């Protein structure tokens, strides 16, 4: 059994914010793979299904971002899921927009959701870091992540979410590098994410 956690803030006010791309990622997984309807529990919402014949719990904490760890801890304790079987999908300002990286542990780069989760369960969970870009000035970061994606960003956002959903089973198998590559190839097929030399 694995716990996939998408990070975001609850409520329609924040729904399309960059900070909420983790919510959208787990919602895309649920839709693509026919998971059960979302229901409220563990201070959040969950949807259950299977990937690669393994039971998967998707979780969207209903606390605000800086209290995300409460919902994660409650769900993990209930299902007896160890930290090595928890995967957190979240926005990452330290990556350019339309880039994605998977890593285990490491720093939290000022992300309040990760800070809360690490305080509750430790730091050694896997993170799917979805790049939303940096505004360039530290003082603008808060407004950047709490603003909606621009209309011009919708193509890469939708392509990214589709690719995450299509390839989520690779995360279950621990094939993180293959997952990253598949997502970036999907983006490149739409002409997104290539550098001038053709590399991603």
Residues designated as active site: 19
Cα 154 from Cα 21, distance rounded (Å): 12
Place of tokens 């969950």: 46
- State the virtual CA torsion across 131, 146, 144, 45 in degrees, nearest 10: -10
Q: What is the C-alpha to C-alpha distance for residues 95 and 130, in angstroms, rounded to an integer?
A: 7
Distance CA 48, CA 162 (A): 19
CA–CA gap between residue 184 and residue 90 (Å, rounded): 17
């Amino acid at each position: 059994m694995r716990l996939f956690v998408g990070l975001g803030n609850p409520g329609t006010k924040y729904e399309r914010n960059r900070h909420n791309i983790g919510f959208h990622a787990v919602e895309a997984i649920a839709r693509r793979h026919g998971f059960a309807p979302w229901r409220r529990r563990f201070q959040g919402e969950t949807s259950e299904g299977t990937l690669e014949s393994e039971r998967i719990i998707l979780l969207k904490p209903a606390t605000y971002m800086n209290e995300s760890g409460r919902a994660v801890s409650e769900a993990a304790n209930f299902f007896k899921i160890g930290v090595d079987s928890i995967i957190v999908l979240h926005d990452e300002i330290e990556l350019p927009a339309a880039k994605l990286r998977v890593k285990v542990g490491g720093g939290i780069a000022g992300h309040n959701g990760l800070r809360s989760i690490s305080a509750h369960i430790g730091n050694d969970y896997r993170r799917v870091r979805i790049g939303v870009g940096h505004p360039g000035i530290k003082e603008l970061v808060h407004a950047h992540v709490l603003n909606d994606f621009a209309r011009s960003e919708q193509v890469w956002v939708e392509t990214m979410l589709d690719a995450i959903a299509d390839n989520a089973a690779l995360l279950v198998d621990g094939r993180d590098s293959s997952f990253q590559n598949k997502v970036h190839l999907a983006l490149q097929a739409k002409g997104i994410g290539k550098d001038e030399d053709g590399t991603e």
